[in-house]
Amino acid sequence: MDNPNKSIECSVEQCRYHCSDCNYCSLDKIRVGTHEADPETIQCVDCMSFRSVQG
């Protein structure tokens, strides 16, 4: 992925949408969600657009 979206910083190198040479996402937009019923900390929220490089 070589088309960084400078509006979306990301360091998750295990995602297929992560730019290979910089810490940005290559998607035009992402969706953020939560896996908790009542999120209260940063650990409670997730990038729902994540896709594994392995899958």
Residues that bind ligand SF4 (CB under 6 A): 8, 10, 12, 15, 17-18, 25, 27, 30, 47, 49-50
Query: Which of 23, 5, 4 has its CA nearest to residue 13?
Result: 23
Minimum distance of ligand SF4 from residue 6's CB (angstroms): 12
Q: Of the two residues 8 and 41, which places its CB atom closer to ligand SF4 in the complex?
A: 8
Main-chain phi, psi angles of 44, to 5 degrees: -85, -15
Distance CA(3)–CA(17), nearest Å, equals: 10
Minimum distance of ligand SF4 from residue 9's CB (angstroms): 8
